[in-house]
Amino acid sequence: AILLFHHLALDHTAMEVVGQEMRAFLFNQADDLPTAAPFRHYVAQARLGVSAQEHEQFFREMLADVDEPTLPFGVQDVQGDGRDIEEAELPVDAGLALRVREQARQLGVSAASLMH
């Protein structure tokens, strides 16, 4: 099976949930899954939770000292629309991964949020 998701619609955490749900269906355990929350709840939280101005202020403060592009894997010269890209992966040193998780815990966020 091939799964195609756009990153904005499905992050790492959500992908784990999708994987758990797929396994539940494959092993006839779908009845054990929790009731799905309506997508409209997510939309309402996103739209009503914090104003656009508050988001803008947060990111201006957070990114104020960034003065150069952050390039994944150092890739700068990207051509085309990305259709030919299948997957890119760069192994991370286990010690570094541990430090990233610890830093994320201290900040109260996920490691994926910290990396983003």
Q: What is the pLDDT of residues 58-111, one digit of tens each?
A: 889 989 998 887 777 777 777 667 677 777 777 778 888 889 889 888 988 888
DSSP 38-84: PHHHHHHHHHHSS-HHHHHHHHHHHTTT--S---GGG-----SSSTT
Cα 102 to Cα 23, 90, 105, 113: the distances in Å are 30, 20, 5, 13
Q: What is the pTM of this model?
A: 0.36
- 24 pLDDT band (50/70/90 cuts)? very high
pLDDT (tens digit per residue) in 39-63: 788 777 777 777 878 888 988 998 9
pLDDT of the residue at 2: 56
pLDDT of the residue at 69: 79
Question: How many whole angstroms separate alpha carbon 92 and alpha carbon 98?
Answer: 10
pLDDT of the residue at 110: 81
